[in-house]
Amino acid sequence: MSQQSGIGHDQWKSRFGFMLAAMGSAVGLGNIWRFSYVAGESGGATFLLIYLAFVLLIGIPLLLTEFSIGKAGKMDAVGSFKKLAPNTKWHLTGIMGVIGGILILSFYSVVSGWSLFYLYQYITGSFWTEPDGGFGAAFDAWITNPIAPLFWQALFLIVTIVIVRRGIGAGIEKANNVLMPALALLMIFMAGYGLTLDGASEGLAFLFSPDWSKFGDPNVYLMALGQAFFSLSIGICGMLTYSSYLKDKDKLPAATVGVGLLDTLFAVIAGIMVFTAVFSFGVEPQSGPPLVFIILPSIFESMPAGGVIGIIFFVLLTMAALSSALSLLELPVAYIHRTLGFTRKAATVIAGSIIFVLGIAASLGFGIWSHIQVNGNNILDIMDNITANVILPLGGLLMAIFVGWYLTREKAVQFSEIETPILQVIWLAIIRFIAPIVLLIIMITSLLGM
């Protein structure tokens, strides 16, 4: 069955497998590492509320839009557009997607490498007690080291490559069937544990009672939008690529809502887990990207059996990162495999190597290349900002216009597989008017503010 057809497409074995893989793509470092620090910096509950509104109003409808293009096109990010809109420039959306995917995985694999290294430190017991100088100094020494992080980043990418090389059903689907249920169990355990801590209520208040004065800050909207796109994996055709491997009989709308809600639930549970801990130990929630690498280890250290909790947490973080990295790698692999005539296995190694090389820059940006900065942002921050706050919303906007305006209304509805007439009308109104307008306003405001 792993025999490829002319366009190089194998298929998900089941719709459930597809759903798990799409959920695996969505749930990742974005829900735990990125969500915690962005929410922490952008005011907690205010951010959460705007984020939830964006997920429901724009994110889930756009996820369906992306799935529709892939399922109807049945090809990679670029090929699907070429097939549905021959002799137009629409396929550039797919090219931008492939580039975006390569960029995201470049820095994503750096942070995933940190997570793998932390896991190793917990397994060997090194981080069970505070290292000399504290966890902050240990983290700094670690990320500024020019060599060691590259080793862990490479190791993480190798695992990702080994799985993606095996293909959709035998590689990605099989891995997610194990990763996702395990992830769900670990996460619920961790959040439940967080709720038992003293001071949990303060963390919950930070996360759930909004500060109304912060609703006027345009930056919070941009951050919430970028986070919604990043977390749902939309805007660069990664979900499009996954849906292209669906069988005709597997319907889209239920899967879309399932993925959207589960991803959001995971973000909220991760928020509970992180902020209950942060507040019960009196730490500042605005600690930025190192939040889960500095704060959580100090918290684990002061807990009974904290070392075991540390192992569980970093297993969870690494598995979540891996299931997302699979989708980020599959995106360029599908494209390279079809267009450049490489076998799937070769395409995986080629894409993985390009990503590793770019990722080296993101990693060194913390140490020997830390002088390379734009507005106080290092290379990793720049890659993250450009992708999450520019490429993803732009890709989402283009796909909304493609399905909403370029395709006929009948085709759009048919591809979306929405059956209820009222839902068809709502979805069309969102992708034709609401999403483009909101996206344009936010993107323009942020450009003017820059």
Give the residues lining the site for ligand TRP (CB under 6 A): 25-26, 28-31, 104, 230-231, 233, 236, 238, 324, 327-328, 392
Between CA 263 and CA 196 the distance in angstroms is 24
Q: Which is nearer to ligand TRP, 34 or 338 (CB)?
A: 34
Contact 244, 237 (CB under 8 A): no
DSSP classification of residue 381: H
CB-wise, 96 or 392, nearer to ligand TRP? 392
Give the residue with the Cβ less far from ligand TRP, 233 or 280: 233
The DSSP secondary structure of 161-227, one letter per residue, reads HHHHHT-IIIIIIHHHHHHHHHHHHHHHHHHHHHHTSTTHHHHHHHHHS--GGGGG-HHHHHHHHHH
Nearer to ligand TRP by Cβ, of 203 and 226: the residue is 226
User: Shortest distance, CB of residue 388 to ligand TRP, whole angstroms?
Assistant: 8
Element at 150 (helix H, strand E): helix 148-165
Instruction: Catalogue the E-assigned strands of 278-426.
Output: none
Instruction: Compute φ and ψ for 169, nearest 5 degrees.
Output: -65, -45
Q: Whose Cβ is closer to ligand TRP: residue 79's or residue 307's?
A: 79
Q: How far is the CB of 237 from ligand TRP (least distance, A)?
A: 8
CB of 147 to ligand TRP, least distance (A): 26
Name the amino acid, one letter, at 50: I
Nearest approach, Cβ of residue 191 and ligand TRP (Å): 17
Least Å from the CB of residue 30 to ligand TRP: 2
User: How close are the terminal C-alpha atoms of the chain, in Å?
Assistant: 51
User: 138 or 362, CB closer to ligand TRP?
Assistant: 362
Closest CB to ligand TRP: residue number: 30
Residue 378 in 3-state DSSP? coil
Rounded to a whole number of angstroms, the minimum distance from the CB of residue 210 to ligand TRP is 23
Burial class (CB in 10 A: 0-12, 13-18, 19+), 377: middle
Residues in CB range of 338: below 8 A, 6 or more apart: 7, 8, 75, 76, 79
C-beta of 75 vs 413, nearer to ligand TRP:
75
CB of 26 to ligand TRP, least distance (A): 5
* Nearest-angstrom CA–CA distance, 46 and 420: 33
**In this structure, which amino acid lies at residue 72?**
A
- Between 280 and 348, CB nearer to ligand TRP: 348
- Smallest distance from ligand TRP to CB 386, Å: 13
Q: What is the residue type of 214?
A: K
CB of residue 395 vs ligand TRP: minimum separation in angstroms?
9
Closer of 233 and 276 to ligand TRP (Cβ): 233
Radius of gyration of the chain (CA): 21
